[in-house]
Structure 1
Amino acid sequence: MPLKAKSSLGILFSFVGLYLLFSWGGSGAAPSVKGPSYRLHNSSSPLPSTEFAIATFLTGQGKDDAYFTATRILTYQLLHAPDTRLNTGSITFLVVCSPSLPDSRKRRLKQDGAVVVEVDDVPRWKEVFTKLRIFEMTEYKRILFIDADTIITAPLDDIFKSPEVASLAPTLFSRKDQIKKDESPLPAEWFFGARSDNALTGQRQHPVPPLQSPSFSSGFFMIAPDRQIYAHLLSVMSHYRRFDPFVMEQNLLNYVYRRDGPMPWRELDWKWSATWPTEKDAQMGVASLHEKLWDRGPQPLRDMWDKRKKEMLQFYEAE
């Protein structure tokens, strides 16, 4: 896409986002948080009782075969592929779905082995921030969120054993100038870990190991679910210019967990995930590569994606 067209598209999305922000109103009050706002597909049973979960999100865009197929490939990689599947019983894989996802696709994902969780849209935002519902899922000690357009190169079990994810962090109430009175109260402690975004350190030419950056990608992050934090996120959404509405949920999270704020995000080890991935990332053992490899990216990585897709289809056809 030409640079001018990209710029125009970015401006258009920003105006749409600002319109949504204005239409909400500026009272500063967070919408009420009622629960549970999520449930298993076609079941009244509770979510599986494990200590940890890995989650991805599929919305109405699931009508697009590329994202639906990507979700199936991620499911296959995490649950079935011999070289990348989870090896412990303490981790549940959740596919979080918006109400707009066709029922037939939810059934297919269940057949593939995923735990399909239906969630309500975030009030007044309809799908834009729906994946943030995972902050409400306090059944789990930690949830690792992974965008569906991700290829896995190694098992992810050990990320939950990493020292940097073991403990909650105290909220830095001493940073009084960073605590806004028109936002809902912050919790006493929290956890949010993510990876620096290679978009800011060279994109496809980023060094390996990569440099740290001021902000993170929302395609791979870990949380300690907390309903008070979810309420805080909702309250921030109501404020104009508090965060850039382009790439909405990523910029919202980067604002709430900003480095100089009261809850500065924690850096996960670089070997867990890479944006703008290259063949060198894979060679150096990065466990997950975030890119729409069915559409773009280095050819060796696109070949890996095609191989995974073929494996996935053959696996389910053989059942």
Structure 2
Amino acid sequence: MNTNPRTIALCIALFLTSAFITYTVRTSHHTSSASWLPSLYTKNHDVPQHIINPPKVAYATFLAANTHENSKEDIPDEEDGYFVGTRVLAYQLLHSKTVGTNLSIPFLVLCTRDVKKSKRDQLKKDGATVILVEKLNADWVHPGSDRWRDVLAKLRLWQLTEYTKILFIDADMLVTKPLDGVFYDEATLTQATGTNPEKIHDDEGALPRTYMLATHGDLWGYDHPYPPDPSLDYLNCGFFVFTPSKVLFEYYMSLLKAPGKFDPGFPEQNLLNYAHRRDGNMAWKPLWYGWNVNWPTEKDWRGGAHSFHAKYWDGDPSHDPLLKAIWKEQRAEMEGYYRGREERGR
């Protein structure tokens, strides 16, 4: 088959032009500064500038001194379930090779000031960032359990405005898969606050212009399907993602000044359920069901859930035996990890 001479000439011309451009770029004095590139992609391995400084996110939990039902005695640290649970959670999120963070996300522990110094020092040694907070109280708020007396202090989380997103996790949690991806869940996008006048009351503080609260509905028992019902309205505040906001914190404080605004049996949970009710101006958004399950069973674990909410350190016979065994293994792994680290440091 004969080849058109013009086609051959055109190919040669294009080749020579390409070679000339390549040679010019490589030998140009612009090569070292790369100023000929668009400014968005200069230096930093061509990473866009908006990725160079990613949003500041954190994991967080809460620890109070009063965590034992009708108990005023000083028990050993290693027998304090919530303290041990906090340590296991710190290990899982910060150090575990299988479920720990891959993004160097810090783990914050909000402690009321009466938490023993030995506990606070141990958590710092474990790698957690301990933040001392003042308690929050209201005369009309009487929790359904004495060990929930100080849980309103969790609302201090909304004062941590140096963070753009925080995942709060109760200390009684088992993590079996990484959680970093929760910060990219579509439910954690900033929402515009509604303006329905029927949902705005004179005895409540100003609403923020925007907000974000993403969580799961409470399953209220072990007999639930997996995936769970997505239409649940009552949020469980053992696992939620939010954006700190001073305006929103002050709004919560205004609710504490209005007796009867919510049922105080579950103080912080019912306050959040009122403030972020699904038919209100700041409705909570549902996270992907697999991030966390309350009232968990082996079925949820086999279904692929990432974390499970239950006090696996106690003797409650209703707890799933498989998940309890996994938590105990995690505790042993945590203790072995820190023991080995101490021996290496000698």
TM class by shorter chain equals 0.7 to 0.9
For residues 61-82 of structure 1, what are the alpha-carbon distances to aligned partners after superposition, in whole Å with 9 as ceiling and x for unaligned? 3666111100000001001111
**Structure 2 matches for 1:256-267, cutoff 5 A?**
256-267=275-286
- Look up the SS of the partner of 2:106 in the other structure: strand
d(CA) in 2 for partners of 1:58 and 1:123? 16
Aligned residues with identical type, % of pairs: 38
Instruction: Decide whether the 8 Å contact of 1:153 with 1:285 is kept in 2.
Output: no
The equivalent position to 1:163 in structure 2, one of 180, 186, 190, is: 186
119-128 or 285-294, larger mean C-alpha shift = 119-128
What's the offset of the Cα at 1:124?
A: 5.0
Distance 1:96 1:205, change over 3 A: same
Instruction: Decide whether the 8 Å contact of 2:63 with 2:112 is kept in 1.
Output: yes
d(CA) in 2 for partners of 1:316 and 1:240? 47
- Look up the SS of the partner of 2:183 in the other structure: helix
Residue 153 of structure 1 corresponds to 176
The equivalent position to 1:312 in structure 2, one of 321, 334, 339, is: 334
**Structure 2 matches for 1:289-300, cutoff 5 A?**
289-295=308-314, 296=316, 297-300=319-322
Instruction: Decide whether the 8 Å contact of 2:113 with 2:134 is kept in 1.
Output: yes
Residue 215 of structure 1 corresponds to 234
Instruction: Decide whether the 8 Å contact of 1:97 with 1:118 is kept in 2.
Output: yes
- Look up the SS of the partner of 1:233 in the other structure: helix
305-314 or 143-152, larger mean C-alpha shift = 305-314
Distance 1:51 1:317, change over 3 A: same
**Structure 2 matches for 1:31-110, cutoff 5 A?**
51-61=56-66, 65-89=80-104, 91-110=105-124
- Look up the SS of the partner of 2:222 in the other structure: helix
- Look up the SS of the partner of 1:251 in the other structure: helix
For residues 137-194 of structure 1, what are the alpha-carbon distances to aligned partners after superposition, in whole Å with 9 as ceiling and x for unaligned? 00000011000000001111111122221x2111111x21111111011011110111
Letter in 2 for 1:294: W
For residues 266-285 of structure 1, what are the alpha-carbon distances to aligned partners after superposition, in whole Å with 9 as ceiling and x for unaligned? 00000000000000111111
User: Are 1:111 and 2:125 counterparts?
Assistant: yes
Distance 1:129 1:51, change over 3 A: same
d(CA) in 2 for partners of 1:238 and 1:168? 27
The equivalent position to 2:208 in structure 1, one of 187, 192, 212, is: 187
For residues 236-263 of structure 1, what are the alpha-carbon distances to aligned partners after superposition, in whole Å with 9 as ceiling and x for unaligned? 0121221001011100000000001110
**Structure 2 matches for 1:129-148, cutoff 5 A?**
129-148=152-171
d(CA) in 1 for partners of 2:283 and 2:126? 37
What's the offset of the Cα at 1:123?
A: 5.4
Q: TM-score, normalised by structure 2?
A: 0.74
Distance 1:265 1:50, change over 3 A: closer
Task: Count matched residues.
Answer: 265
Residue 19 of structure 1 corresponds to none
Letter in 1 for 2:102: N
d(CA) in 2 for partners of 1:65 and 1:123? 24
User: Are 1:206 and 2:224 counterparts?
Assistant: yes
Instruction: Decide whether the 8 Å contact of 1:57 with 1:95 is kept in 2.
Output: yes
d(CA) in 2 for partners of 1:277 and 1:102? 31
Letter in 2 for 1:248: P
The unaligned stretches of length 5 or more in structure 2 are 1-53, 68-74, 140-148, 342-346
Greater gyration radius = 2
CA RMSD of superposed structures (Å): 1.6
The equivalent position to 1:239 in structure 2, one of 251, 255, 258, is: 258
The unaligned stretches of length 5 or more in structure 1 are 1-48
d(CA) in 2 for partners of 1:50 and 1:58? 26
User: Are 1:178 and 2:199 counterparts?
Assistant: yes
For residues 57-108 of structure 1, what are the alpha-carbon distances to aligned partners after superposition, in whole Å with 9 as ceiling and x for unaligned? 001136661111000000010011111100013x211011101100110000
What's the offset of the Cα at 1:50?
A: 6.9
Instruction: Decide whether the 8 Å contact of 1:50 with 1:92 is kept in 2.
Output: no
d(CA) in 2 for partners of 1:123 and 1:291? 26
Distance 1:77 1:198, change over 3 A: same
- Look up the SS of the partner of 1:305 in the other structure: helix
